[in-house]
Amino acid sequence: MAYTLTVREGLVRGMLMAIGEDPDREGLLETPARVVKAWDEWFDGYKRNPQTELKTFEDGAELCGDEMVLVRDIDFYSHCEHHMAPFFGKAHIAYIPNKRVVGLSKLARVTDVFAHRLQVQERLTNQIANALVDGLDPQGVGVVLKATHFCMCSRGVNKQGSTTITSALRGAIKEEPSARAEFLRLVAL
127 Cβ contact partners less than 8 Å away, ≥ 6 residues apart:
50, 114
Asked if 151 contacts 162 with a C-beta cutoff of 8 angstroms, the reply is no
Answer yes or no: 153 catalytic.
no
Q: Which of 51, 82, 122, 175 is catalytic?
A: 82
- Farthest CA pair distance, the chain: 69
Answer yes or no: 81 catalytic.
yes
Q: Which of 21, 151, 153, 176 is catalytic?
A: 151
Q: Which of 58, 81, 122, 175 is catalytic?
A: 81
Burial track 118-138 (b if 16+ CB lie within 10 A, e otherwise): ebebeebbbbbbbbbbebbeb
Per DSSP, 97 falls in state: -
Q: Which of 79, 116, 119, 121 is catalytic?
A: 121
Which 3 state secondary structure label does DSSP give 178? helix
Cα–Cα dist 102/108, whole Å: 11
Answer yes or no: 92 catalytic.
no
Report which of 167, 143, 132, 105 is spatially closest to residue 50, judged by C-alpha positions: 132
Q: Which of 21, 83, 153, 176 is catalytic?
A: 83
Q: Which of 92, 119, 149, 182 is catalytic?
A: 149
Answer yes or no: 121 catalytic.
yes
Answer yes or no: 83 catalytic.
yes
Q: Interhelix angle for 104-115 vs 121-136, to 10°?
A: 140
Q: Which of 80, 116, 119, 139 is catalytic?
A: 80
Cα–Cα dist 140/163, whole Å: 26
Catalytic residues: 80-83, 121, 149, 151
